[in-house]
Amino acid sequence: MSAASRVNVSARRERLLGDQPGAFATAQYVRVTAQKARRIADLIRGARVEDAIATLQFAPQAVAQNFLKLVESAVANAETTEGLDSADLVISVVTVDEGPTMKRWRPRAKGAANRILKRTSHLTVVVTPVDTTKGGTR
């Protein structure tokens, strides 16, 4: 689908992709800290889709499964809505933003309480064809 034929472009798509071809997928309120998620995001940023999927399947971190689902969803979105071939896709943007933090209390000795912070993250993966990616692949 060309940029000229797009109607009703969402603000999120406009911000992430502009007029370039490509697709994205997001996961919100994922129960992992942003710091831990960014370690995995750095592994797949700029990689070809096949390489990223192989990396994520064997990564021991739990958040790798969330990123695996996101990459597969973004590829499916690119194939379905944009008509792109999955073999030509590269992961151009991976963002990890902090979500809301749940505050919990843990009882301690002598009637005291410690605060427990259960952090969440918002994950975004953008895939674009190889030729439109700035800077190419690794």
Query: How do the pLDDT tens digits run along the chain, 138 residues long?
Result: 555 566 677 888 888 888 888 999 999 999 999 999 999 999 999 999 999 999 999 999 999 999 999 999 999 999 998 889 889 999 999 999 999 999 999 999 999 999 999 999 999 999 999 875 555 554
Percentages helix, strand, coil for the chain (3-state, rounded to 5) are: 40, 30, 30
Specify whether the backbone of 123 is left (phi greater than 0), alpha (psi in -120 to 50) or beta: beta
Reported pTM: 0.84
* Mean of the per-residue pLDDT values of the chain: 89
With respect to CATH, is domain 20-131 assigned 1.20.140.10?
Answer: no
User: What is the total residue count of the chain?
Assistant: 138
Contact predicate 90/128, CB 8 Å: yes
For the chain, the domains span 20-131
Residue 129 tokens, joined: 């064809």
